[in-house]
Amino acid sequence: QGRFPGSPAGGAYPSQTLIHNFLVRGAGRHGILVGTATSGIRVHGNDVSDCENMGMFLCMNVQDSSVEGNVFRNCRQGIAGTDVRERNDNALSTSTAPYDITGDVRCSITGNTFIGGPLSHSNGAVAAIFAGPQFSVVGNVIYDWLTGIVLVPWACDAIVANNTINMSEVYAGGSGLVVMPHTDRSRVVNNVVRGATGPDVTTKNETGIQIEGPFEDVLIAGNVVTGCTNGIVNGVNVDPIRNMKLKDNVVRYVAVGGKILMIYGVLEDCEIDLTGLDSTGSTLFSGVIDIDGGASLERVLINGLGNNGAEAAARGGDRAHWRDAGVTLWQHAFAAVGAAGRVLCAGVSCWE
């Protein structure tokens, strides 16, 4: 284990430290450990493999640092340990101001390669990258991890962009991108998630993008999800997701019985715009959008269509009507139809 301790409590942050060209093999715990209260660290060009836990462990208060051009292979977790808390050590809450959120903040993870593979770990494989508040996660390539990139709870104002995630052919049940609660104002854009689900494989149970609220003002746009069991899934959240823009994403070639989009939670003032394609680029008719009976949608547009402009929530189980120019286009179920592969609100008549 390459251990780089930070400052003692109350001490000054070390700065301009370079961790470069280390070769780490078979660490019993972590490959590289960046200690508490460090700033200005640059981790560049290292090769870390076969660690029983994290390829790189970010301890408390790692700030304003960069992780660039490293390779992490066959570790249980890639870059993890992300610490998020309130500046005065009170518990984080919805009243916590953005400037009072601290811990591992303002770090960049760029141009790294993560290779999971079939190595067995006693605790199972986890994820390649855990990102915190104001992180910039850009241009990484991930192969064969259970889950690709996770925006941890309270990771507000983060950017996850232009990453390529190839889902595991070994592990089942993972997600390419995960957006956790209270990740307000974050941007998840222009990423590619490639699943391992083929035409005869429906057991991987993969999700391209997993969305867990509540949060506000998050943009998830321009992402491409291919070959996953399900494309985009919003889990059950009692408190609402507000002002989410789920725009210009493409979901293609979901598994047999899979869904382009699944909504289980509470959405308010959101815009959703999806394109569904099959593996040849043709309009996708087999995948559907599924809104659970317990879901609640208030002032939500789906491909430009709203639920009569109603102020009250439309619930899937109530078979609420969504209308365009007074014509009912949806009653509880969605189907992927329309010119140029656009996913449109539709009732059962769309199959006729």
Q: Note the pLDDT tens digit of each residue in 107-147.
A: 899 999 999 865 545 455 688 999 999 999 999 999 988 89
Which of residues 87 and 150 earns the better pLDDT score?
Answer: 150
- What's the predicted TM-score (pTM) here? 0.83
* Position 316 pLDDT exceeds 50: no
Question: Can you tell me the mean pLDDT for 196-215?
Answer: 78
How long a stretch of residues is the chain? 352
Residues 6+ apart with CB under 8 A from 139: 110, 111, 161, 162, 163
- Compute CA 170 distance to the chain's CA centroid, rounded to the nearest angstrom: 20
Euclidean distance between CA atoms 160 and 149, whole angstroms = 8
And the tokens for 160?
A: 């996850």
- Which has more confidence, 193 or 90? 193
Tokens representing 93 are: 């809450």
- Residue 160 forms beta bridges with which residues? 137, 188
pLDDT digits (tens, 9 = 90+) for 244-283: 999 989 888 777 777 788 888 888 888 888 776 655 555 4
Per-residue pLDDT tens digits for 165-197 = 998 877 778 899 999 999 999 999 999 999 876
**pLDDT at residue 277, rounded to an integer:** 61
Quick one: how far is CA 153 from the chain centroid? 11
pLDDT attached to residue 342: 32
Q: pLDDT-based confidence at 309, cuts 50/70/90?
A: very low
**pLDDT bucket at 72, cuts 50 / 70 / 90:** very high
Taking each continuous run of H as one helix and of E as one strand, the counts in the chain are 0, 41
Task: Give how far the C-alpha of residue 215 lies from the chain's centroid of Cα atoms, to the nearest Å.
Answer: 13
Number of other CB atoms surrounding residue 262 within 10 Å: 21
Please give the C-alpha separations between residue 200 and each of 205, 232, 254, 256, 281, in angstroms, as whole numbers: 13, 21, 12, 8, 19
Determine how many CB atoms are found less than 10 A away from the CB of residue 313: 18
Q: For the chain, how long is the longest CA-to-CA vector? A: 71
Integer Cα distance of 19 and 34 in angstroms: 10
Give the span between the Cα atoms of 75 and 92, in whole angstroms. Answer: 30
* pLDDT tens profile 326-337: 333 333 333 333
Phi, psi for 99 (deg, rounded to 5): -75, -10
